A and B are shown apart, each in its own frame.
Chain A
Amino acid sequence: MPLSTHQTEDLVRMIVTVEPDAIGCDECFGRVAEYADWQLSRQEIPEGMRAIENHLRQCPCCRDEYRALLDGLEAIDWDTR
């Protein structure tokens, strides 16, 4: 069955937005807590964390989990951490 119009547009979007990605999902998961702390601290993200940022842009699955992580962390009073 051919792709629907919507799926075709999604595929084209997947193609035009792709960038080289130096890491995979496993490495992202191992470092994403540190990245979240930097982001929540509202300080400038260090250069070494840019690979995480890039992977989160590329990977819908990790991005979805990261958004949920931020939602959860915001629900936990920062002072209790």
Chain B
Amino acid sequence: MPPSDAQSPLSSDPWMERLRSSEPQRGDAIEELRFLLHRGLSRSLNMRYGVPFQIDDVVQDALLKILDSLDQFEGRSRFVTWAMTIATRVGISCLRRQYKREVSIELLDHDDSLKLATSNTGRSEASQNMAQREILQQLNELIETDLTARQRLAIRFQLEEIPVDETAERIGSNRNAVYKLVHDARMKLKQGLERKGFTNEHIQSVFALGT
């Protein structure tokens, strides 16, 4: 917590006191929190991912989750900031479920789920195309030899912009594990390319990637 509030002990957090008090203070606090969540989520989630959502339903779900989780508030942040992290996750999870893209699982479940086209990206000079092709060929080899089938699939899902929660559901895992799976795969591919003599700088230059 920033220094200005560091002297405020958790026990005196007014939100926690009010939410744990008896009526009517508790009810007033809940309605005040509902108002703040509504204001915050209306701004942050409205038309995110291009889909409308039922704000009142999301706020209600978030509020219930927050009230159920009060014991987990450790006072390391302002209470409303903490509450908004929970509400934001509830809201975004709801939006991501609606946004779910129709990607054929059968199409992606084959062993070639992460096969690269090694021609070229079509926007470069001939010499650069050759350099790209060389990197992509090495990358294809590394994908085959260094990654597991689950890693290939998880990366493909990410490239298809399938939400990580949905990826986790499809491969029977959880969000944290999917992140680790993909992160480890990225590290392996990076280290593999380095072993083959392709530095980050060279790759960025060949693909004209802005960082």
Q: Bound complex: CA of A38 vs CA of B197, how far in Å?
A: 41
- Which of B82, B92, B139, B164 is within 8 Å of A33, CB to CB? B82
Q: Bound complex: CA of A36 vs CA of B87, how far in Å?
A: 14
Q: Bound complex: CA of A29 vs CA of B80, how far in Å?
A: 15
Chain A 68-81, CB-CB to B under 8 Å as 1, else 0, gives 11111111100011
**Interface residues of B, dominant DSSP:** helix
**Contacts A14-B186, A33-B77, A37-B81 known; A2 to B116 CB distance under 8 Å?**
yes
Chain B 155-197, CB-CB to A under 8 Å as 1, else 0, gives 1101110011000000000011001100100110110010000
Interface residue total, chain B, C-beta cutoff 8 A: 63
Q: Bound complex: CA of A70 vs CA of B159, how far in Å?
A: 25
Q: Is the CB of A16 within 8 A of B1?
A: no
B202 CB to nearest chain A CB (Å): 10
Q: Is the CB of B200 within 8 A of A16?
A: yes
A27 CB to nearest chain B CB (Å): 8
Interface residues of A in 35-68 (CB under 8 A from B): 36-38, 41, 43, 58-61, 64-65, 68
Residues of chain B with a CB closer than 8 A to A37's CB: 1-2, 5, 77-78, 81
Interface residue B128 (Cβ < 8 Å from any Cβ of A) = no
Residues of chain A with a CB closer than 8 A to B123's CB: 5
Q: Is the CB of A65 within 8 A of B92?
A: yes
Identify the 7 closest CB pairs spanning chains A and B, nearest first.
A72-B40, A75-B43, A72-B44, A33-B77, A71-B44, A41-B2, A18-B186
